[in-house]
Amino acid sequence: MKLSIIVPVYNVEQYLVRCIESIVPQMCADYELILVDDGSTDNSLNIVKEYMKSNLNIKVYAGENIGLVG
């Protein structure tokens, strides 16, 4: 069974590296870190894409900003 961790991302460039670096070292071999970008206008999406190059367990889903849906 694979462990999935889902992290919402929206203009969190200043916190994103710390967030990813706090999750990845603690994980077992069979996990996926899913970052869901809600149309960030800062560098958040580029940061995630850089991590994806060196870690196949990291995935990103990006789209236009839709805000809270409820």
Beta bridge partners of 33: 5, 58
**Residue pLDDT, tens place only, 16-70:** 999 999 998 887 778 999 999 999 999 999 999 999 999 999 999 999 887 776 5
At 30 the pLDDT is 87
> CA–CA separation, 33 vs 12, rounded Å?
16
Residue for token digits 């999935």?
4
Instruction: Give residue 43's pLDDT.
Output: 97
pLDDT at 70: 57
pLDDT band at residue 2 under the 50/70/90 scheme: confident
Cα gap 23→3, rounded to integer Å:
12
